[in-house]
Structure 1
């Protein structure tokens, strides 16, 4: 199973699991400036803010259980859009954009390992991710950074239209979608990359930027 599939399944399990959350549970992730990559950071941050939104000592609380059936369908559709656009876009930038691969990805991914293992494992992971991207239509021969940016813009337009001037996507209470969107957009906004066009695309949607700032302030206790 790829890391991508594992992390998607893990995120959904956080939402759906019925077992009690241990009192001494901890959420671990590598430091943002060290080993962690864009996609992993986005998903782990999404899980963290989801748990904070729940204010819970238990797993399995659904933030969307009180939504009408039509809005629950909308929520699933937006989550599917994120899975089909934001996640492949992040993987493309991480593994298929040569400058990012050389300056950021290879350094972070290989950081826990000695030479030459760090180079070998990074090369193997790169081949795995490029194969995956090609299989889902996001390969290096199928996309460019410019077309990836256009897809990101299209996704942000849909999210910005749904959010409008509301605090959260479905009104005054957060849902799983708010946690997931925050994880991805906040990561794109705050991760320094050789090419900054992904962050600039998100920054062009002011309500999405404000959304990220508000969630950071409310659930993490500080401002961007």
Structure 2
């Protein structure tokens, strides 16, 4: 489907109300999900919760194959299927739900720049850790990706996925980096985020934006996942205001809902 057709579909959908049966399709959390997917799923969940939009999480072993882009999570809203964080934010915005509506044009440009930085650095770091580091790839990533498939697909599919991700990272100069270089990139990103957040509740004041959802998704995934041979959570915890930010988001948008 062309970008023009996608835009037309989104415009048509914008005239409709938010459906009551919106579903967010994700992989199974405990057995199947890998670090990059976990970060993206958390980011989208948080964004929808911040918009106060109702949705149901649907766990599927073949969620990636069901997705229109081949990545997770993806949203089913009426007749529309939308995958990935940015397209989902745009789709929701066209329906009149915009977290950044009160920002100035300068602030919106700054927000987009920070979102791009997070996806470029933290997103690529997650892929590097998951697929390029042999210990993590062999002990964590490949078993999870292959878990739902019978032999010989349970080892063929992870190998194909690893080759695909390696080629993608190689094209942008990430595949041949050392672990130290990747961790330094993560620290630099966290430093920039920490300086932007300072002691504010959210990155742009007292109200959340999609940047808050995106940062929480990536940082919370990195803080909570257990990986062999690397302690990336320890590096992130050096930035106290970022860890406190993650704790606030978790408490407000996840723990309260669980208690209810």
Q: How far does residue 22 in structure 1 lie from its aligned partner after superposition? A: 1.7
Q: Which has the higher strand share?
A: 2
Matches within 5 A, 1:146-157: 146-157=180-191
Does 1:40 pair with 2:37? yes
Q: Deviations over 1:107-140 (max 9, x none)?
A: 100011011111011101100000000001101x
In the alignment, what sits opposite 1:125?
Answer: 161
- 8 Å contact 1:64–1:72 — kept in the other structure? yes
Partner of 1:31: 28
The counterpart of 1:112, out of the listed 148, 161, 173, is 148
**1:31-180 mapped onto 2 (5 Å cutoff):** 31-57=28-54, 59-60=92-93, 61-139=97-175, 141=176, 143-180=177-214
What SS is found at the alignment partner of 1:28? strand
Structure 1, unmatched stretches of 5+, are 1-13
Q: State the distance in 2 between where 1:195 and 1:43 align.
A: 23
- Residue 216 of structure 1 corresponds to 250
Q: TM-score, normalising length from structure 2? A: 0.76
* Aligned residue-pair number: 207
Q: C-alpha displacement at 1:63, in angstroms? A: 0.3
Distance in 2, Cα, partners of 1:45 & 1:193 = 18
Could you tell me which residue of structure 1 aligns to residue 80 of structure 2? none
Are the structure 2 counterparts of residues 177 and 154 from structure 1 closer, same or farther at C-alpha, using a change threshold of 3 Å?
same
Cα distance change on mapping 1:24 and 1:135 into 2, 3 Å = same
Given that 1:149 and 1:197 are in contact with CA atoms closer than 8 Å, whether structure 2 keeps it comes out as: no
Give 1:20 deviation, angstroms. 3.4
Cα root mean square deviation, aligned? 1.9
Structure of larger gyration radius: 2
**TM-score in terms of structure 1 length:** 0.88
Distance of 1:62 and 1:25 partners within structure 2: 18
